[in-house]
């Protein structure tokens, strides 16, 4: 197995910097669009053969160092007993969670019974790749999932979830505890199926003040990290707009902290200290730069992050209009300049 990613997550030396891209299996790839044109997104997530096929596509086309299983962070939420609609305009919950009774009705599902198709997709991905690169499992963080469930979908102000936190904090903690009790077995199922590393997306954690993040997200993230690390896999924690929360994220004990593009990688390193690996942090829109300028951005990030304990990634998911050839150029540039960085030279 190409284990660069796993070594970097554990801050061990590698021959070059490993790279994968959030949302690397998606609409920017014509081969993905060919499959997606015949099936709804949620149905694709639940079809192990097709989910494995689209998971493998970017590994084959781009040469990335890991395959992240094709799924969605809201998949385990549906298994809790809430109706989920997933389309091109994003997620929608027709009956959002708003009351104590709504939270009480949510189940803590058996992960195999409710979401076993994710584990099967991981097994089929590993077989298709012949375990040539590690498979990344993932889940959302309790606060982020709760935000979707309470708001009924995406939000600009997060007024409903924040009112729940501030007006009914005990109920909010009950909700987060139930989500955590669902997510840990869900991730453990992915590890048992062969995921070698997992990422927790607290996508909307940056909407909270540091005080509120420490109170309402950190305890649950910390518990998830500890219980997943007990299975022997490294854990990545990532969210956008999280630069002010880096000292708190370090307290989760995660092996790797993802950085978005709003903070230079060396500054993130300085805040986090030497005992944590970092992931990131190219602006996804930099993939629209001319190749020469894109390569300069790659070199800058590699130099700032250093040769040990760095996983190259975007600061958020790759965008649908992106040229796949730009993504391939990025991966090749990371590998070329990452190797040169370890030799103390500049790649040609």
Strand-strand pairing, 135-140 and 67-68? parallel
Query: Is residue 27 flagged as an active site residue?
Result: yes
Token pair belonging to 138: 């993932």
* Count of the separate structural domains present in the chain: 1
**Radius of gyration of the chain from its Cα atoms, rounded to whole angstroms:** 19
Q: Report whether 220 belongs to an annotated binding site.
A: no
Neighbours of 271 (CB within 10 A): 17
Question: Which residue among the candidates 11, 27, 223, 251 is catalytic per the annotation?
Answer: 27
pLDDT tens across 61-114, in order?
999 999 999 999 999 999 999 999 987 778 999 999 999 999 999 999 999 999
With respect to residue 329, please indicate whether it lies within any of the assigned structural domains: yes
pLDDT of residue 89: 76
By residue range, what is the domain housing residue 255?
3-343
Question: Which residue among the candidates 4, 65, 72, 124 is catalytic per the annotation?
Answer: 72
DSSP of 90-152 = EEE-SS---SHHHHHH-----HHHHHHHHHHHHHHHHHHHTTSSPEEEEEE-HHHHHHHHHHT
Q: Report whether 262 belongs to an annotated binding site.
A: no
With respect to residue 168, please indicate whether it lies within any of the assigned structural domains: yes
CA angle centred on 335, ends 235 and 273, rounded to 5°: 40
With respect to residue 150, please indicate whether it lies within any of the assigned structural domains: yes
Q: Report whether 27 belongs to an annotated binding site.
A: yes
Q: Report whether 335 belongs to an annotated binding site.
A: no
Question: Which residue among the candidates 32, 61, 65, 148 is catalytic per the annotation?
Answer: 148
One digit per residue, the tens of pLDDT, for the chain of length 348 reads: 999 999 999 999 999 999 999 999 999 999 999 999 989 999 999 999 999 999 999 999 999 999 999 999 999 999 999 999 987 778 999 999 999 999 999 999 999 999 999 999 999 999 999 999 999 999 999 999 999 999 999 998 999 999 999 999 999 999 999 999 999 999 999 999 999 999 999 999 999 999 999 999 999 999 999 999 999 999 999 999 999 999 999 999 999 999 999 999 999 999 999 999 999 999 999 999 999 999 999 999 999 999 999 999 999 999 999 999 999 999 999 999 999 999 987 777
Query: Is residue 23 flagged as an active site residue?
Result: yes
Q: Report whether 209 belongs to an annotated binding site.
A: no
Q: Which residue has the tokens 């989910």?
A: 51
Token pair belonging to 16: 């070059």
Judge whether 264 and 304 are in contact, CB under 8 Å: yes
Q: Report whether 202 belongs to an annotated binding site.
A: no
Token pair belonging to 200: 């927790």
Q: CA–CA separation, 198 vs 235, rounded Å? A: 5
Query: Is residue 270 flagged as an active site residue?
Result: no
With respect to residue 245, please indicate whether it lies within any of the assigned structural domains: yes
Residue 28 to residues 91, 274, 318, Cα–Cα distance (Å): 19, 36, 8
pLDDT of residue 86: 83
With respect to residue 348, please indicate whether it lies within any of the assigned structural domains: no
pLDDT of residue 279: 98
Q: Report whether 32 belongs to an annotated binding site.
A: no
pTM of the model: 0.97
Q: Report whether 345 belongs to an annotated binding site.
A: no
pLDDT of residue 87: 73
Token pair belonging to 202: 């607290």
pLDDT tens across 279-321, in order?
999 999 999 999 999 999 999 999 999 999 999 999 999 999 9
Give the CATH number of the domain where residue 98 resides: 3.20.20.210
Query: Is residue 43 flagged as an active site residue?
Result: no
Q: Report whether 25 belongs to an annotated binding site.
A: yes
């Amino acid at each position: 197995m190409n284990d660069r990613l796993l070594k970097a997550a554990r801050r061990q030396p590698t021959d070059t910097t490993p790279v994968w891209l959030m949302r690397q299996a998606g609409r920017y790839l014509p081969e993905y669009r060919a499959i997606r044109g015949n099936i709804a997104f949620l149905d694709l997530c639940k079809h192990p053969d097709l989910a494995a096929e689209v998971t493998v596509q970017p590994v084959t086309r781009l040469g990335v160092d890991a395959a992240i299983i094709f799924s969605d962070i809201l998949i385990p939420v549906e298994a809790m007993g809430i109706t989920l609609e997933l389309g091109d305009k994003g997620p929608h919950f027709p009956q959002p969670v708003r009351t104590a009774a709504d939270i009480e009705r949510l189940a803590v599902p058996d992960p195999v019974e409710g979401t076993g198709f994710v584990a099967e997709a991981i097994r089929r991905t590993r077989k298709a790749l012949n375990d040539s690169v590690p498979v990344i499992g993932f889940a959302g963080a309790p606060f982020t999932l709760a935000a979707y469930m309470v708001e009924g979908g995406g939000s600009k102000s997060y007024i409903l979830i924040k009112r729940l936190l501030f007006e009914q904090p005990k109920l909010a903690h009950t909700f987060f505890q139930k989500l955590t009790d669902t997510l840990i077995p869900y991730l453990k199922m992915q590890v048992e199926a062969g995921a070698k590393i997992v990422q927790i997306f607290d996508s909307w954690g940056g909407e909270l003040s540091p005080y509120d993040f420490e109170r309402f997200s950190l305890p649950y993230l910390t518990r998830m990290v500890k219980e997943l690390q007990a299975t022997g896999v490294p854990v990545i924690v990532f969210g956008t707009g999280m630069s002010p929360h880096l000292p708190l994220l370090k307290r989760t004990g995660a092996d790797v902290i993802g950085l978005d593009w709003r903070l230079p990688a060396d500054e993130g390193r300085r805040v986090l200290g030497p005992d944590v690996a970092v992931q990131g942090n190219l602006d996804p829109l930099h993939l629209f730069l001319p190749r020469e300028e894109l390569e300069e951005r790659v070199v800058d990030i590699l130099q700032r992050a250093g040769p040990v304990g760095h996983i190259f990634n975007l600061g958020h998911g790759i965008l649908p209009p992106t040229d796949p050839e730009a993504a391939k150029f990025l991966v090749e540039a990371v590998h070329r300049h990452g190797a040169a960085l370890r030799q103390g030279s500049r790649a040609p």
